[in-house]
Structure 1
Amino acid sequence: MVRSFLGFLPWIVYAVIATGDEWRWGALAGLVIALGLIVVDRRSGKDWDQMVIETSAAIFFVLSAAVSFAGPSSSLIPYGPALVNAWLALTAWGSLAIRKPFTLGIARSMAPEEIWRTPQFYRVNAVITAVWGAAFVVAAVLLAVLLSVAPHATTAVIAVKIVTFVVPMVFTARYPKIAAARFRGQAA
């Protein structure tokens, strides 16, 4: 379980470093960590579908670094946290749109192969990905509004970031067990 959340490390590091004029260095740090995770994962034999978040991070941070160095005083600076969550929402909802929920590859690394192709396995991962997608949308909207009306409300920004990450994380840890118990109950 811990390994599955390592994919969020580039985003977390970016969130810590990218404050005000430090967003360039946050983008570079996020990019380096994302690329490092991808290299380590590929060398360990992981498939690309197990690295959707890391790959998405690499793309985001390439774009973010390019924008941040080309226009260091860009009007996007204050909205970095909202943009991160909007990008992650696009990643989550995009993966659902192509019927490859971003959690599916991660879940395959933790589940027995015989259940991978079951409709229940796909459904559980679609629900988990949708919860993450919804949390990212909520975070993006709340952060965009908060940063536009109260740009120095650091405590509120941190609270939004924490709640919108912890809630889907807890859901991800608990929901597969609930769904499995429900499925066993229906099968009996």
Structure 2
Amino acid sequence: MNYLKSFIPWIVFAVVSTQFDWRYSGLVGLVLAAGLLGLERRRGKAWDTLVIELSATVFFAALTVLSFADPGSPLHDYVGALSDIWLAVTAWGSIAVRRPFTLGIAKTMVPPAVWDNPAFLRVNVVITAVWAASFTVAGIASTVLLSAAPHATAALIVIKVLGFAVPAAFTVRYRQIVQARARKAA
């Protein structure tokens, strides 16, 4: 579950954005994302393990600039949905370039002999696709909810929690299944 710390800026942002001005929630997200990225790089982590941290830093930097430049922007009302959509684009994009964002993280958990195995890549494509699908669904659901009931904060929080909890639970369970199959085949 080490990968979950990658999502800390997104989770904190989701909570802060429901309570405070979007300028400050974006700034909080930026500080956390950039801090986490810098800390992990100083610890010697490779760039391929930091896709979500890098994506977060870019998103929150752009959001912070936009929110301070145009505090009344209509995007303000959809910032929660935008964050899910950005994560979906990040995840789907990583699959499109055949470097699923989970791959670098997974490489830190298995021996190098496994890295070139096509099954290893396939497992990471599946896991990343589940994250991407979850972010996509959360982004769409958040957009619809914000359009229909902009003050339904509790429902938005449920969408956010499910958007992270479902793929996290899948990741844990799927890894267990794949590892059990590998042991059985050996």
Q: Shared fold (TM-score greater than 0.5)?
A: yes
**Matching residue of 1:5:** 4
Aligned match of 1:171:
170
Counterpart amino acid of 1:108?
Answer: K
- In the TM superposition, residue 40 of structure 1 has moved relative to its aligned partner by 1.1
Structure-2 residue corresponding to 1:33: 32
Residues 1:120 and 2:135 are matched in the alignment: no
Alpha-carbon RMSD across the aligned residues, in angstroms, is 1.3
Tell whether the 8 Å contact from 1:146 to 1:153 is kept in structure 2 after alignment. yes
**Map of 1:49-68 to 2, 5 A cutoff?**
49-68=48-67
Q: Aligned equivalents of 2:74 and 2:61: distance in 1?
A: 18
Compare relative contact order (CA 8 Å, sep 6+) and give the higher one, 1 or 2.
2
* Matches of 2:179 and 2:44, distance apart in 1: 28
> 1:52 Cα shift?
0.2
Deviation at 1:114, TM superposition (A): 1.7
Partner residue, 1:158? 157
What does residue 79 of structure 1 align with? 78
Moved more, 174-183 or 108-117: 174-183
The secondary structure found in structure 2 opposite 1:100 is: coil
Structure 1 residues 16-42: Cα deviation after superposition (integer angstroms, max 9, x where no partner)? 112376111111111111111111111
In the alignment, the residues of structure 1 paired with residue 64 and residue 138 of structure 2 have an alpha-carbon distance, to the nearest angstrom, of 22
Q: Is the 8 A contact 2:14 2:160 kept in 1?
A: no
Q: Structure 1 residues 18-27 or 117-126, which shifts more? A: 18-27
* CA-to-aligned-CA distance 1:23-81 (integer Å, 9 cap, x gap): 11111111111111111111111110000000000000011001100111111111111
Cα deviation, 1:63-122, whole Å, max 9, x if unaligned, reads 100110011111111111110000000000000000000000111111222211111111
Tell me the distance in 2 between the aligned counterparts of 1:177 and 1:9: 24
Q: Distance in 2 between matches of 1:9 and 1:173?
A: 18
TM-score of the pair, normalised by structure 2: 0.95
Gaps of 5+ in 2: none
Cα distance in 2 for partners of 1:37, 1:162 equals 21
Structure 1: gaps (5+ residues)? none
Offset at residue 182 of structure 1 (A): 2.9
Give the letter aligned to residue 145 of structure 1.
Answer: V
Q: How many residues are matched?
A: 186
